[in-house]
């Protein structure tokens, strides 16, 4: 019976491809596991958001998010390009890139640790012991955290979406449980930050070792991969930094309590965005990387736009549902943050802009270095400029407006580059 149902399902998916112009079997198989993993991760993040909002004072929560934002900017200086290159190289059979990426990124991380140590010394000398300790924690854990997390990129390249989901679920549950335990005993942001890094690094290393033992990757590598990684990492610095600059600016101009209000406004829309973004990146990049020829690029470009129309309709529907549900959700789960409702509804409009991940994945799969530089530098400068101007003038509203404008600008820029 099971085999018969499976056969009928496969035939239906293949039949539907004449209308969707998409590999529906690949989408269904990969999408199910990725969606499952993201769903559990989103649920865990939502549970943590509820706990932080109801168990921590706003000032402590804002300080915690500020420290993690500093960590995000520090990690932006690592070899972030490996996240893309590992997927591409493994999809093409060069599995040795996993170990190469792990150790290269770890060695590069020593530089980050030295920078954090120097900055910690500076802040300690000026009486800011909290930030000094936070920088020491960041410097110690960031290299290992970044390197161990590459296991999921390897699994992505192998199209082992089930493995990615299992790892993501385990990571989310461990982090959530340990953080909830910590919240019951302390309000200290530094203890919570240490808990975050210990849990995330330990699970990352465990799954990295498990991946290496299970797959026994071959030693084949592409000689040009490291050079391309450095290009991607350099162009990613500005984009990665702008993800966290808004929180640092809100903290600087408005304070920790207002940062907590801002973070809660972003929480649910950002989680929804990540669900779609990870599915797009996880499914699209390895598929594009397999078809790295100019003829296939033209074919992909021809097929991509009808799919975009359908995806846009889905995203608009999700946005409308969230806008309607937001007041109820905040009243139920975040009663102390009702001022975040309007901001959250406004920011949810950026969900449609998640489709920018499709042209970016297409450019990455074809190693279009010039176009990627154009995209990352232009969109990064636009977002940073908007934040620097609008946050001091309009506070939280300015930060949200800057985020909306810059994300739709990135969407337009991405599709402009693949059409050229």
Low-confidence winner among 282-296, 299-313, 380-394 (lowest mean pLDDT)? 282-296
Q: Is the pLDDT assigned to residue 148 strictly greater than 70?
A: yes
- pLDDT tops 70 at residue 26: no
* Cα–Cα distance for residue pair 199/176, rounded to 1 Å: 9
pLDDT exceeds 50 at position 172:
yes
Q: Which domain holds residue 102?
A: 21-419
Nearest residue to 348 via CA among 375, 327, 334: 327
User: What span, in angstroms and rounded, lies between the C-alpha atoms of 8 and 4?
Assistant: 6
Average pLDDT over residues 261-285: 75
Tell me how far apart the alpha carbons of residues 371 and 419 are, in angstroms, rounded to a whole number: 11
Confidence of residue 220 (pLDDT cuts 50, 70, 90): confident
Q: Give domain status of residue 230, yes or no.
A: yes
pLDDT of residue 176: 94
Residue 99 predicted with pLDDT over 90:
yes
Beta-carbon contacts of 164 under 8 Å, excluding residues fewer than 6 positions away, are: 33, 34, 37, 152, 155, 156, 282
Q: What is the pLDDT of residue 355?
A: 80
- 246 Cβ neighbours under 8 A, 6+ residues apart: 262, 387, 391, 399, 402, 403
**CB 153 within 8 Å of CB 201:** no
- Look at residue 341 and tell me whether its pLDDT is greater than 90: yes
Average pLDDT along the chain: 83
Any domain includes 9: no
With 80 as the cut, is the pLDDT of residue 310 above it? no
Q: Does the pLDDT value for residue 297 go beyond 70?
A: no
205 CB burial (10 A radius; 0-12, 13-18, 19+): middle
Query: Is the per-residue pLDDT at 296 higher than 60?
Result: no
Confidence (pLDDT) at 225: 79
Q: How many CA atoms lie within 13 A of 309 on its CB side?
A: 5
Number of domains in the chain: 1
Q: What is the pLDDT of residue 178?
A: 96
List, for residues 352-409, the tens digit of each pLDDT value. 888 877 777 777 767 777 888 888 889 889 999 999 999 999 999 999 999 999 999 9
What is the mean predicted confidence (pLDDT) over 94-102? 92
Residue 348 Cα to chain centre, angstroms: 17
- pLDDT confidence of residue 357: 73
193: pLDDT strictly greater than 70 = yes
Of 37 and 153, the structure prediction assigns the larger pLDDT to 153
Between 223 and 325, name the one with better pLDDT.
Answer: 325
Write down the pLDDT at residue 21.
Answer: 46
Q: Check whether 13 has a pLDDT greater than 60.
A: no
pLDDT score recorded for residue 408: 92
Indicate the pLDDT class of residue 19, thresholds 50, 70 and 90: very low
Q: Is residue 198 part of a domain?
A: yes
> pLDDT band for position 286 (50/70/90)?
low
Q: Is 37 within the bounds of a domain? A: yes
Q: Tell me if 229 is assigned to some domain.
A: yes
Instruction: Say what percent of the chain tops pLDDT 70.
Output: 84
Q: What is the predicted pLDDT for the residue at 301?
A: 58
Q: pLDDT value at position 417?
A: 81
pLDDT tens digit sequence for 229-264: 888 788 778 777 788 899 999 999 999 999 999 999
Is residue 327 domain-resident? yes
Q: Identify the pLDDT of residue 185.
A: 92
Q: Which 3-state string (H, E, C) describes the chain?
A: CHHHHHHHHHHHHHHHHHHHCCCHHHHHHHHHHHHHHHHHHHHHHHHHHHHHHHHCCHHHHHHHHHHHHHHHHHHCCCCCCHHHHHHHHHHCCCCCHHHHHHHHHHHHHHHHHHHHHHHHHHHHHCCCHHHHHHHHHHHHHHHHHHHHCCHHHHHHHCCCHHHHHHHHHHHHHHHHHHHHHHHHHCCCHHHHHHHHHHHHHHHHHHHHHHHHHHHCCCCCCCCCHHHHHHHHHHHHHHHHHHHHHHHHHHHHHHCHHHHHHHHHHHHHHHHHHHHHHHHHHHHHHHHHHHCCCHHHHHHHHHHHHHHHHHHHHHHHHHHHHHHHHHHHHHHHHCHHHCCHHHHHHHHHHHHHHHHHHHHHHHHHHCCCHHHHHHHHHHHHHHHHHHHHHHHHHHHHHHHHHHHHHHHHHHHHHHHHHHHC
Name every residue whose Cβ is closer than 8 Å to that of residue 12 and which is 6 or more positions away in sequence: none
Q: What's residue 228's pLDDT?
A: 80
- Does some domain include residue 11? no
Question: Which of 45, 53, 65 minimizes the C-alpha distance to 254?
Answer: 65
Closest-CA residue to 315 (of 359, 355, 267, 274): 355
The pLDDT score that the predictor gives to residue 82 is 87
Burial class (CB in 10 A: 0-12, 13-18, 19+), 369: middle
What per-residue confidence (pLDDT) applies to 56?
A: 92
The answer on pLDDT for 15 being more than 90 is no
Torsion-angle region of residue 368: left (phi > 0), alpha (psi -120 to 50) or beta? beta
Q: What are the angstrom distances between the C-alpha of 92 and each of 83, 218, 226, 286, 385?
A: 15, 12, 16, 9, 39
Output the six-digit token pair for 345: 């509804």
Q: pTM, whole model, 2 decimals?
A: 0.80
Q: Does residue 13 lie in a domain region?
A: no
- As a whole number, mean pLDDT of residues 134-142 equals 92
> Which token pair is 183?
């919240």
Distance between CA atoms of 122 and 343, rounded to whole angstroms?
36
């Amino acid at each position: 019976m099971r085999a018969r149902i499976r056969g009928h399902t496969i035939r239906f998916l293949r039949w539907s491809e004449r209308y969707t112009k998409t590999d529906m079997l690949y989408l269904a198989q990969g999408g199910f596991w990725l969606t499952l993993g993201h769903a559990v991760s989103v649920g865990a993040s939502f549970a943590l958001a509820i706990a932080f909002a109801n168990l921590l004072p706003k000032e402590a929560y804002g300080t915690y998010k500020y420290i993690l934002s500093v960590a995000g900017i520090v990690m932006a200086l690592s070899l972030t390009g490996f996240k893309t290159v590992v997927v591409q190289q493994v999809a093409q059979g060069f599995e040795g890139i996993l170990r190469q990426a792990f150790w290269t990124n770890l060695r590069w991380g020593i530089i980050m640790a030295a920078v954090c140590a120097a900055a910690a010394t500076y802040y300690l000398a000026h009486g800011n012991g909290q930030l000094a300790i936070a920088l020491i924690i960041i410097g110690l854990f960031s290299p290992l955290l970044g390197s161990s997390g590459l296991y999921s990129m390897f699994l992505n390249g192998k199209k082992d979406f089930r493995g990615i989901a299992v790892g993501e679920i385990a990571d989310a549950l461990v982090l959530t449980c340990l953080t909830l335990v910590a919240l019951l005993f302390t309000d200290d942001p530094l203890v919570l930050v240490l808990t975050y890094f210990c849990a995330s690094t330990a699970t990352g290393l465990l799954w990295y070792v498990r991946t290496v033992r299970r797959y026994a990757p071959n030693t084949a590598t592409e000689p040009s991969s490291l050079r391309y990684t450095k290009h991607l990492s350099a162009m990613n610095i500005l984009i990665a930094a702008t993800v966290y600059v808004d929180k640092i600016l809100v903290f600087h101009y408005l304070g920790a309590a207002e940062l907590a209000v801002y973070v809660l406004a972003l929480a649910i829309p950002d989680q929804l965005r990540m669900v779609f973004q990870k599915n797009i990146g996880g499914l699209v990049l390895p598929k594009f990387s397999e078809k790295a020829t100019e003829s296939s690029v033209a074919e992909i470009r021809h097929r991509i736009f009808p799919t975009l129309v359908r995806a846009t309709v889905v995203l608009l529907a999700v946005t409308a549902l969230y806008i309607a549900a937001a007041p109820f959700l905040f009243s139920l789960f975040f009663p102390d943050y009702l001022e975040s409702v309007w901001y959250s509804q406004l920011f949810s409009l950026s969900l449609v802009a998640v489709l920018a991940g499709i042209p970016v994945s297409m450019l990455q799969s074809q190693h279009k270095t010039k176009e990627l530089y154009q995209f990352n530098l232009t969109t990064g400068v636009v977002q940073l400029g908007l934040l620097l101007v609008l946050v001091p003038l309009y506070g939280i509203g300015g930060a949200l407006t800057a985020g909306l404008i810059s994300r739709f600008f990135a969407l337009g820029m991405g599709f402009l580059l693949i059409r050229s």
